[in-house]
Structure 1
Amino acid sequence: MVHQYYLGLTSSSHTVIFEGHEYWQYLWPSVAVWVIDRVLRVVRLFYCNFHVAVTGRNKIHTTRSRMTYDQTADVIRLVVAPGTKLLQPKPGDYYFLYQPFRFVGWENHPFTVGAWAYDADPSAVGSASFGKLNGSMDASHLPLLYAVAPEQEAEDLSESAGEKTAASRLKLVFWIRPYDGWTRSLRQQCLHSKEGVVDTTILLEGPYGHNFPLWRYESVLLIVGGTGIASAAPYIQDHLRRSARGEESLDEKSRIRDMELVWTARQTAFLHDVASRELRPALGREDFQASLYVTRNPTESPQELVDLGCQVRAGRPHIQSLIMGRVCDAAAAGLSLAILVCGPAGIADEARAATHLAMRQGYRSIKYVEESFAW
């Protein structure tokens, strides 16, 4: 009885402030903000995933998606073709992803866009490249992350949806590391499919995020871990586009003279998959170099990565030495330096401490950018 009386007294003391509606003037503004936020997010869902065409056979376009799971790399590759044609992706963008036809279809998780490309007329794509752009093509509709395999994925995705049209269509690529909950469910769906490929319905909400102007710095160091490559790859390809001859649609040319990618991953398979697809246009350039580190099964042969032009090492990089070396080189050459970091907490902590140490030693022209690695 004593305990029951105590609980009742506590409950009464917590709710007595609402008697007489004295504090409702503070409650309703919060409710209004929440309702407006929900409404705007629903509007974004329809904006990203549905498009009504005035002409053509297909009047209504909806979002299509395809995912594959690489057991060796332990990564899900998700390709999404948004229903709308109005999205203009850029580095730093992320979307909330929904899988609506589930018991908990309202659940959503944020993922950074790691790559994107546009379907185009095959003859037009064949006549253009990153180095030389055809003046008759809209540069904004050129594949930002061009590689044969992703383009084939995009073409297959459109064919399966019955949308073989001359107009270009955007394809977004996400890399998802399966853990628990929804990501584990995605992995199981891929494993249960006969060919390891699943055509499913994934809805987008976004874009969110911000775009940092790395192209304004002359020396750039990218330090990423695992699927954190999704933050760095768009900036690499943005540099390629801004450096390309004849690119007149961009507001500002790239000033980058030296860009280095330091990427640590568990499996060689994931490194090779991304290097042979999204990073291939950058490998071999004089102003770009990639140092890849493998932390699991380092005895696997990395010869294919070496052939692509990558430096492959076993273990983890010494972050402080890398940053201090880059800072000294940039200072000696009189170059401005930007450091982008996206990875586990350990990598981010080391990079932040090393940058702070360099600035304390007098190197002030450093811009440090840290992207969140998890939600």
Structure 2
Amino acid sequence: MTYDEAADVIRLEITPGISGLQVRPGDYYFLYQPFRFTGWESHPFTVGAWSYDVDPLGAPLDNYGKPWNSLDNAQLPLLSGSFPDQESWDVRKAQFQRSSTPRLIFWIRPYDGWTRQLRRQCLRAPNQPVHTTILLEGPYGHSHPLWRYESLLMIVGGTGIAAAVPYLQDHLQRSANHCSSTSEGKSRTRDIELVWTTRQPAFLRGLADRELNPMLSRDDFRASFYATGSSDRFRQDFNALGYTVQMGRPDLQSLILTRASEASAAGMKLAILVCGPAGMADEARAATHLATKQGYQDIKYVEESFTW
């Protein structure tokens, strides 16, 4: 685990002690840190992202989860063969996951109690990762088939980004060339918009450079970043890197009504995923209800829990 003081977020990477753990969007775990006076204390955290040393087709991956340009044949025996078109991507991915060990990534905002203790452990070893033992209880949660919707709008706040990134990873896998167009698991999503609001621009920067990086160059994806507690200097830094960060908060009602109108005009089904503070969720829910009252009925609204 590492602590980014500018982002005020602990990045916890866990390699489970057993192989075959299948990870899905929407999964969350109760985390325990044993060998402490309050070692029974646990907290639920959503899996924000995951990665493997090789991808489901056997290509070795770099530290950002992207394939190297060349393949290492020594790592290809699992799924290097061809598959009939009727075999779904879900089946192929499950075969890979049953014999592989993922690295689970959690983003934790330190508050009181155990999360504050995690931050203290990191601060005692600055500029280097801290290694510890964590017990996992789970997975719990429910994965929504957002890949069945042609248009997808994600509205997240702070560490609520953990609810969105797994669905983006799932979209990348389902949209890949090796996922047959006739496969039942092929993503139908053609347009994704991510709207992320957080106080710390450093948190935005970290994920834009890592987990979100594979999506930023895609034609079917666009992102709007909002920072509520930063200065113009941070905005200039992001613009120099190619990221646009706006100050303040988005107008969710206008955003949702516009997306509902565009999806309806294009004959697309729209899914709206929301994970953020209560005020953000209330505003998004009310705006979605207003959209349905205005006649935009083909909308799926999904709200994930935001507690840590």
TM bucket (normalised to shorter chain) is: 0.7 to 0.9
CA distances 1:149-205 after superposition (whole Å, capped 9, x unpaired) = xxxxxxxxxxxxxxxxxx853200000000011101100111112434211111111
Change in Cα spacing, 1:111 to 1:133, as seen in structure 2 (3 Å) is farther
**What amino acid maps onto 2:24 in structure 1?**
K
Q: Separation in 2 of the partners of 1:130 and 1:251?
A: 25
Selected match of 2:155 from 214, 223, 234: 223
Note the C-alpha offset of 1:133.
Answer: 11
Report the structure number with the largest CA radius of gyration: 1
Q: CA deviation at 1:86?
A: 1.8
Structure 1 counterpart of 2:18: 84
Aligned to 1:293: 226
Residue in structure 1 matched with residue 305 of structure 2 by the alignment: 372
1:330 aligns with 2:283: no
**In the TM superposition, what is the alpha-carbon distance from 1:337 to its structure 2 partner?**
0.4
3-state SS in 2 of match to 1:198: coil
Instruction: Output the amino acid matched with 1:173.
Output: I
1: CA distance between counterparts of 2:22 and 2:175? 19
- Structure 1 CA distance for aligned equivalents of residues 240 and 175 of structure 2: 24
Q: Is the 8 A contact 1:340 1:369 kept in 2?
A: yes
* Matched-pair identity in %: 61
Distance 1:289 1:230 in 2: 18
> Counterpart of 2:169?
237
TM-score scaled by length of structure 1: 0.71
The answer for the alignment partner of 1:314 in structure 2 is 247
- Inter-CA distance 141–73: structure 2 relative to 1 (3 Å threshold): farther
2:60 alignment partner, SS class? helix
What secondary structure, in the 3-state scheme, does the structure 2 residue paired with 1:85 have? coil
**Secondary structure class of the residue paired with 1:320:** helix
The residue type equivalent to 2:60 in the other structure is: V
Contact 1:118 1:170 (8 Å CA) reproduced = yes
Q: Residue type of the partner of 1:96?
A: F
Q: Give me the whole-angstrom Cα distance separating, in 1, the residues matched to 2:5 and 2:287.
A: 35
Partners of 2:260 and 2:270 within 8 A in 1: yes
Q: Aligned partners of 1:129 and 1:185: how far apart in 2?
A: 33
Distance apart, 1:301 and its partner CA: 2.9
* Aligned counterpart, 2:2: 68
TM-score, normalised on structure 2? 0.85
* Alignment match, 1:29: none
The alpha-carbon distance between structure 1 residues 72 and 320, as it changes in their structure 2 partners (threshold 3 A), is same
What runs of 5+ residues in structure 2 fail to find an aligned partner? 80-91
Count of residues in correspondence between the two structures: 286
CA positional deviation for 1:131: 12
Structure 1: gaps spanning 5 or more residues: 1-66, 145-166
Aligned residue for 2:93? 140
Q: Distance in 1 between matches of 2:106 and 2:36?
A: 20
Identify if the C-alpha distance between structure 1 residues 242 and 319 changes in structure 2 by more than 3 Å, giving closer, same or farther.
same
Instruction: Determine the structure 1 residue equivalent to 2:115.
Output: 183
Cα offset, 1:130, TM superposition:
6.9
Q: Which has the higher contact order (CA 8 A, sep 6+)?
A: 2
Of 104, 110, 117, which aligns to 2:44?
Answer: 110
**Partner Cα distance (2:203, 2:172) in 1:** 22
Superimposed CA distance per residue, residues 313-338 of structure 1 (whole angstroms, 9 cap, x where no aligned partner): 01111110110111111111111000
Cα shift at 1:223: 0.1
RMSD: 2.9
**Deviation per residue, 1:18-47 (Å, 9 max, x gap):** xxxxxxxxxxxxxxxxxxxxxxxxxxxxxx
Q: Hey, what's the Cα distance between the residues in 2 that align with 1:299 and 1:213?
A: 39
CA distance in 2, matches of 1:131, 1:334: 38
- 8 Å CA contact 1:228, 1:342 repeated in 2: yes
1:44 aligns with none
**Code of the aligned partner of 1:76:** I
State how far apart, in whole Å, the 2-side matches of 1:187 and 1:366 are.
Answer: 40
Alignment partners' CA distance in 2, 1:93 and 1:69: 23
Q: In structure 2, what is the Cα distance between the partners aligned to 1:343 and 1:130?
A: 32
Q: Is the contact between residue 294 and residue 314 of structure 1 (CA under 8 Å) also seen in structure 2?
A: yes
Cα distance, 1:181–1:143 mapped onto 2, change above 3 Å: farther
Match of 1:280 in 2: 213
Conserved in 1, the CA contact under 8 Å of 2:48 and 2:162?
yes
